[in-house]
Structure 1
Amino acid sequence: MAELAAQAIVDAVGGPENIESLTHCATRLRFQLVNSELVDSAALDNIDVVMGSVPQAGNRYQVIIGGGVATVFQQINNLPAMGTTAAKSADDVKAEARSKGPRGKHAWMDGFFEYLADSFRPILGVLLGASLIIAFAAVMDAFGVQDFRAEVKPAGWQFLDTMWRSVFYFLPIMVAYNAAKKLNVDPWLGAAIMGALMTPEFINLSSRDDITCVTNEALGTQSCRADIFGIPLLLSDYGGNVFVPLMMAALLAVVYHGIKKVVPESLQLVFLPFLSMIIMIPITGFILGPLGVWLGGILGTGLAWLNTTAPILFAVLIPMLYPFLVPLGLHWPLNALMLMNIDTLGYDFIQGPMGAWNFACFGATAGVLFIAARERDAQMRQTSTGALIAGLFGGISEPSLYGIHLRFARIYPRMLVGCFLGGLTIGVGSMLLGTAGVTASAFAFTSLLTIPLFSPMSLYVIAIAVAFCTAMALVVITDYRTPEQKAEALARIAKQKAEGGPHVDILEEEEAQDGFETPAQQAGITAADAEPFLEAGAVATAVKERPRTQAPGMVPGTVTVLSSPLQGKVVPLKDVPDPGFASGAVGAGVAIDPSEGRLVAPGDAKVIMTFPTGHAVGLKMDSGVELLVHIGIDTVNMEGSGFKVLVSKGDIVSEGDPLVEFDIAAIKAAGYSPITPVLVTNHKKFGSIDARADGDATFGSPLLKVAAKGNQ
């Protein structure tokens, strides 16, 4: 099954020949395609492991997978058809992207945030692992097993600290490595330069007697200076600092590539790193290091001041901003500030309010899951289940955002109410308790597993519960879809039931016998009425199903002849310039290239579907045949121009009654084909459907012969 999913993804993005390169991040496959217009987004979203897809500029395409992205990535690479298509490294891919020039009006801004994201993204896994180790230690502290913050601990617990401190203390080296790699610089060079400020020799300078120290009262931190050949050197502890390596790598890229231009290639192995180090280590130590500490101090002081003087405003502002920052990748600077706070203060005050946003996000997803389960919508149920698990246990919001929330605009206002109330709970609770907000003892993905890291824990639990339940309740009560989207979804479910798909329980009779209507019945949609119309671009609003009796045309031995509703030349269905119609996926029948802009009823029927755009009509013939007449190809895009609908849903019509008037010249002038499919959409309920393959059709002339099942 896994290999089938990998193959399905490759097919949906246009096949191996359409893939220039493939990389992945924590939750997404990142395709660089030859032509992004070849992507079948609907097919992608229907693949079991796919939670959503995101088209981007420059033929880039992201496919949201979730926590199993690395496995899917490997499975795709292992496909025989892929060959060497995806063999390029991430560096090669990014270098090629840079060589193609700007990708938008604000390319420098896109590049900046991509630089931040790619500097952190590869280490998210170890950050999450370290935060869970800290969470375990915090639980042990809560149960009185061991004081988590004690300066002196037993050797075993001190060793446990090394497991998570290795990540957070040496984080600057990791960031420097990734940042340098992002800028096409030897990543080990970036790591070595940053590591120089974390050696015992550098740290021991702080123990000298001839240094001077200054205390930052706002942050409660101390910085010392030493005299190095007459030049003052700031002796900050750079463990956990992220601003300095980001600044260093950016300048290193300029120096590195500049040296590379003047040093002969035969000497670059030695002199390129040598010259880079003797230039960049002093610049980093004397200038960039202090500047990074100062900038971090300014930002930290400002946020600390806001958190202290206006805690309610701060607690509400953070969760209200995050839903807009995360989709744009603008949350990375705040993540850097969190790490800076932990490094300088020993705790962070941003993650608590951020938790209100995360759990409001997960609550909205839970609301979608509740509705999907109630409606037996396997597609949304699967998407929301995966996203909710990734959120509640991994603290990862992208599957929810890209797979669900950004697809349905009604979710955001409801989620923001949860963000607001969750943040307000933290702000008001902090004032009542006299605390500086909800703080975290380590950088953590805000999930159920990391709750013990937050203090006061009880206030944090109440706040995230308020955020989660509010968003979930609002989504469940008011729905996450517009009426049109809901009708479309229910039509899709009903169609799948009628076709014997995975949703066969939607309209089963036992629910009605128990006194309950299914959601599809509540919306007035039946399998018989709704099955074909989603493909036609309609909003399905068919009437409620009446008590079933066997239609005359379905009695064994019966043959029903349908008259032509149009005048023109008959076109075989396979020649229709639309793969959905030509394949027979929508229904069986023929098409007509009309010579007159008038559509009439082919027999006695009830109108079960009309369209605001006038481009199609659905009929339920008295014989039991269900007919869809779709005037032109892609004419829904004309938005009703050139069409005049003469009937309404529910009307009873007789053979020859006018249904729609349309302007053939206007259709052609708009660049669309007027070829009109005439389709029996419930063809699977009949034995055979014979169509005229050629010739001319006139109003009332025989067009289709429909034989009931059981005919010999």
Structure 2
Amino acid sequence: MWYDHIRKPLCALPHRYRVAITGVTQEEELREQTMASNTAADILEGVGGAGNVVSLTHCATRLRFQLADGEKADKATIEKIPGVMGAVPQAGDRFQVVIGGAVQTVFNEINALPAMAGGGAASAESIDDIKKREREKGVRGKVAWIDTLFEYLSDSFRPILGALLGASLFITFMALMATLGVIPAWNAPGVTLDPSWAFVNLMWQCVFVFLPLMVAYNASAKIGADPWVGFAIMAVLMLPGFTGLGAGVEKTALFGFEQAQVAIVQVWGLPMPIADYSSQVFPPLLMAAVLGLVYKGLKKIIPANLQLIFVPFLAMLVMIPLTAFLIGPIGVYVGAGLASALAAINTFSPFIFAIIIPLAYPFMVPLGLHWPINAIMLLNIQTLGYDFIQGPMGAWNFACFGATAGVLFLAWREKDKDMKQTATGALAAGLLGGISEPSLYGIHLRFKRIYPRMLVGCLTGGLIIGIGSLVLGLPNGITTQAFVFTSLLTIPAFDPIGLYLIAVLAAFAVAMLLVIFSGYKDKVPAEAAAATAGAGAGAAASTAAPVAGVTTGGAATATGAATATAVAERTEAVGELVQVASPLEGTVVALDQVPDPVFAGGVMGPGVAIEPTGDTVFAPGKGVVVAAQPTGHAFGLQLDNGAEILIHVGIDTVNLKGEGFDVKVKNGDQVDVGTPLVTFDRAVIEKAGYPLITPVIVLNGDTFDTVDPVELGPTTPGAPLLDIQKKG
């Protein structure tokens, strides 16, 4: 719903507006906070008890139950529970309980009840469940197995990013000490450090040596198997006793691949390849994928009351030999093959490689395609002793951070408090931690003007690395002997440091200056600007909002003069009038046609709905944006004519988490008729299975005598939509 994730912003709004949106008075808000525990138990009993709960999730005001038997839920009883604002039975044994702002507390209280220990009949819907459900609807892409693969890779690495980041800073510190001559080349063959520095060196080695165990745990959990079983299977291959089986045996190239050296020993009369699995990531990833299949198979054939004992045992019995003989060596081979392919490209032309990598990463990271490359970086360090990918990647990262710095500069100049906070946090995460996601998802992907300028910074850094490698005769370009996050703190880890420093600073500066000079916000089309000016003039003369044409898809709406005439006629007919313009192109229908009982029943307030044919939502009048959801699915506006408007794009589109929405405004923005609020991708919403019908609600409808649609049927942006008669 539109009010998902909005409670915090509403706290800053006038109390009357909060009440209009949520229906919760100040007294009710206090009561919600103090009675959540009793409320939770009563709600659980009202829906038929824990045994009837298949899954439970929530938005910012509603508990969303999936029940085993929807008939067991007692709507009348639940609505009498203190703190419950309403109950909505739905098809498919779904049941919603409207709570209000305390929904998170009640949700937590329900899951903390003894009856729900272990999840009751089923635990609350997890993030993985939600992702799976949305993916099955085709939200994330057209090829489901590719989406699944990269989500698997992402979730296998994401939980250990903190440990990897910490280890990378230890590595950088050691590299800096070696550069300053405090210690010898700490990673050179045959170098022995004194115990104090050797201990510091162990602080990062612990992460990378045992990285396969961490990946095995995460990947097994992701695939639905017991993560500790996956951990144990991979641990066998890392035991000193296992590697000791190959002691004294001459190593050979696995499948003729020189980078995959293994010792072959006879176990049970079969050849077993013994490899060094430290820092390897492909073997645990492949192992966990197979383990998931084995787990599912065993659970189908073993009775539920025996699964705790025999499923882990039989899984280990099958998977340990299978991993040692087959999966582990294949993982080593696959990793070495991918690393060798990239090395061949770099060897062929470090210049081309240095340009391709920084230009590709801005598109790979949002899609999660960079995770396999991270695995190859680790493998390069293990097999080659250095990595050649992270240097060019630094050009992309610093161009990304430079674009964020440009946005921060403009936000300070424009006194944009929200953007200042967002950009400051993103820039700190980037420059100090080498983390690009806050910049990407918080800023860059929201404003289309940033990416082309950032790409110029990427190209600049890549060209400097490529040309510098040719001039200096660097056969592998810029290299590093450790896996690090490319930030200010890790610059000393790269060789040659001078060339790397020049490249990343140039990438940063170019992207920053381009954003500063050209701006990052989308330019308002000339037609919309004209409409805004006309609407402002008209609003000064009357309470009617739409007084100028707005175009969408190149087709103009009614002219300002025609609209003003229509407003005058209606004003004469009904008395003092407030009017709301249509926010998008489509067909106006009655509110009871909305397939959501809260909207259709008028709980949120009176209004109409629009079946859109266009793809852009415009402001329906002059006023201020009081609630612009970052997901783009809903907007609350306080119009100068007194109307408080909610525009909700589609139903349950909050579940898309912003995918397919390009938000044009933010909280506090002044808007006029024709100001674009959001552009949405119809194909994404329709493929996800969500209705596109868009309710337009007058939240403070009780302060007016009447709220009536001007006319049902076709409409265009800026055309009269609602006639609102003020109370005398």
The answer to whether residue 145 in structure 2 is matched with residue 108 in structure 1 is: yes
* Count of aligned positions: 513
Deviations 1:602-632 (A, max 9, x none): xxxxxxx996799xxxxxxxxxxxxxxxxxx
Deviates more, 1:369-378 or 1:122-131: 369-378
For residues 338-487 of structure 1, the aligned pairs below 5 Å read: 338-435=377-474, 436-484=476-524
Residue of structure 1 equivalent to 2:591: none
Name the CA shift for 1:392/1:218 in 2 (closer, same or farther; >3 Å): farther
The answer to whether residue 241 in structure 2 is matched with residue 241 in structure 1 is: no
Deviates more, 1:97-106 or 1:345-354: 97-106
Letter in 1 for 2:179: A
How far residue 528 of structure 1 moved from its aligned partner, in angstroms, is 14
**Equivalent residues of 1:311, 1:437 under 8 A apart:** yes
For residues 123-522 of structure 1, the aligned pairs below 5 Å read: 123-147=160-184, 148-150=186-188, 151-208=191-248, 210-214=249-253, 222-435=261-474, 436-484=476-524
**Equivalent residues of 2:61, 2:102 under 8 A apart:** no
Q: 2: distance between equivalents of 1:214 and 1:262?
A: 40
How far residue 417 of structure 1 moved from its aligned partner, in angstroms, is 0.8
Residue of structure 1 equivalent to 2:128: 94
**Equivalent residues of 1:539, 1:611 under 8 A apart:** no
Name the CA shift for 1:408/1:537 in 2 (closer, same or farther; >3 Å): farther
Residue of structure 1 equivalent to 2:554: none
How far residue 536 of structure 1 moved from its aligned partner, in angstroms, is 8.1
User: Structure 1: which 5+ runs fail to align?
Assistant: 18-31, 39-75, 493-522, 541-561, 592-608, 615-632, 636-662, 679-690, 695-712
Q: 1: distance between equivalents of 2:148 and 2:341?
A: 27
Q: 2: distance between equivalents of 1:487 and 1:481?
A: 17
How far residue 141 of structure 1 moved from its aligned partner, in angstroms, is 0.9
Letter in 2 for 1:120: F
**Equivalent residues of 1:668, 1:674 under 8 A apart:** no
> Which one of 702, 713, 721 corresponds to residue 668 of structure 1?
713
The 3-state SS of whatever aligns with 1:315 is helix
Residue of structure 2 equivalent to 1:50: none
Name the CA shift for 1:34/1:446 in 2 (closer, same or farther; >3 Å): same
Letter in 2 for 1:83: N
Residue of structure 1 equivalent to 2:639: 586
Q: 1: distance between equivalents of 2:436 and 2:527?
A: 28
Q: 2: distance between equivalents of 1:529 and 1:128?
A: 55
Letter in 1 for 2:286: M
Name the CA shift for 1:156/1:527 in 2 (closer, same or farther; >3 Å): farther
For residues 596-611 of structure 1, the aligned pairs below 5 Å read: none
Q: 1: distance between equivalents of 2:419 and 2:217?
A: 40
Q: 2: distance between equivalents of 1:425 and 1:231?
A: 53
**Equivalent residues of 1:175, 1:246 under 8 A apart:** yes
The 3-state SS of whatever aligns with 1:483 is coil
For residues 38-53 of structure 1, the aligned pairs below 5 Å read: none
Q: 2: distance between equivalents of 1:83 and 1:567?
A: 55
Question: Please, what is the CA RMSD of the aligned residues?
Answer: 4.8
The answer to whether residue 727 in structure 2 is matched with residue 693 in structure 1 is: yes
How far residue 377 of structure 1 moved from its aligned partner, in angstroms, is 2.0
Name the CA shift for 1:106/1:536 in 2 (closer, same or farther; >3 Å): farther
The 3-state SS of whatever aligns with 1:568 is helix
Q: 2: distance between equivalents of 1:337 and 1:262?
A: 38
Greater RCO (CA < 8 Å, at least 6 residues apart):
2
Name the CA shift for 1:422/1:230 in 2 (closer, same or farther; >3 Å): same
Deviations 1:477-536 (A, max 9, x none): 2222232189999x99xxxxxxxxxxxxxxxxxxxxxxxxxxxxxx99999999x99x98
Letter in 1 for 2:639: V
How far residue 178 of structure 1 moved from its aligned partner, in angstroms, is 0.5
Q: Which has the larger radius of gyration?
A: 1
Residue of structure 1 equivalent to 2:68: none
**Equivalent residues of 2:358, 2:462 under 8 A apart:** yes
How far residue 8 of structure 1 moved from its aligned partner, in angstroms, is 1.0
Name the CA shift for 1:304/1:323 in 2 (closer, same or farther; >3 Å): same
Name the CA shift for 1:9/1:260 in 2 (closer, same or farther; >3 Å): farther
**Equivalent residues of 2:536, 2:672 under 8 A apart:** no
